[in-house]
Amino acid sequence: MQLVYFAWIRERVGKSEESMQLPGGIATVSDLIDHLCSINDIYKAALGDKSVVRIAVNQTHVGLDHPVTDADEVAFFPPVTGG
Amino acid sequence: MASVSVQAGDFQIADEIAALKNGRVDIGAIVTFTGTVRDMNGDLKAMTLEHYPGMTEAELGRVAEEAEKRWPLVGCRVIHRYGRLEPGDNIVLVITMSAHRHAAFEAADFLMDFLKSRAPFWKKEETSEGGQWVDAKESDTDALKRWG
């Protein structure tokens, strides 16, 4: 799967995107965030507070319970501030 | 069909109106909204807008399509800039055209409300104290409620 990051989440992760093999047992966006946070404190600092993380799967806004597959592009970002 | 652009460069409002109008004489009402970089405290050097290429265009297209379903528009144009902008610079342009003014006003208002809460843009302000990401406003989320 492809992971992409924006704004302060991108700065905390330290990269704008990366490829990752989706580990078994991960069904939803929420599971994926838990998995990333368990890898190290960098992901934890970026994604640990799920209340401020917004998600898009394949470039469409989704909620934490949305399913994920290894073919997906999953984006993590703070609430948007355009306009 | 709505026309949506995400671009680094500036836009010329009169040129955009003329292009959208395209010689038609049955329009009656043209509403434009322009959002610009605001320096509230006299300390803003610049603002950098980051966005999600691909999703930004798709999301703006979805919002414009929804506006066209709700109101009888004969023209709809959205332009949003990204990159480094200075106080006073244009950020966003919305143009709506309809036979009557209410549809054009309401559709432009709707487009801005949804754009502000759905289009994947993030602002970072640059002041004498350094760079600071702009926080999303709860009032922007609340603004969606009036559209049902």
Chain A residues whose beta carbon lies within 8 Å of the beta carbon of residue B83: none
Find the domain containing A11 and state its range. Answer: 2-77
pTM of the model: 0.95
Q: What's the CATH code of the domain at B58?
A: 3.90.1170.40
Residue from B85, B121, B124 to probe the interface with A (highest A Cβ count within 10 Å): B121
The per-residue pLDDT for range A26-47, each reduced to its tens digit, is: 999 999 999 999 999 999 999 9
Among the residue ranges A4-18, A51-65, B125-139, the one predicted with the least confidence is B125-139
Cβ of B135 within 8 Å of Cβ of A4? The answer is: no
Q: Say if B58 is an interface residue toward chain A (CB within 8 Å).
A: yes
Find the domain containing B23 and state its range. Answer: 3-132
Chain A residues whose beta carbon lies within 8 Å of the beta carbon of residue B55: 56, 59-60, 75
Q: Say if B55 is an interface residue toward chain A (CB within 8 Å).
A: yes
Residue A38 in any domain: the answer is yes
B14, amino acid identity? A
Chain A residues whose beta carbon lies within 8 Å of the beta carbon of residue B135: 79, 81
The complex scores an ipTM of 0.95
pLDDT at B41: 87
Residue B52: is its pLDDT beyond 90? yes
Residues constituting chain B? 148
Residue A72 in any domain: the answer is yes
Residue A18 neighbours by CB distance under 10 Å? 12
State percent of chain B over pLDDT 70: 100
Residue B43 in any domain: the answer is yes
The per-residue pLDDT for range B1-35, each reduced to its tens digit, is: 799 999 999 999 999 999 999 999 999 999 999 99
Read off the pLDDT band of B133 (50, 70, 90): very high
Residue A67 in any domain: the answer is yes
Rounded to an integer, what distance in angstroms lies between the CA atom of residue B105 and that of residue B56?
A: 24
Rounded to an integer, what distance in angstroms lies between the CA atom of residue B76 and that of residue B78?
A: 7
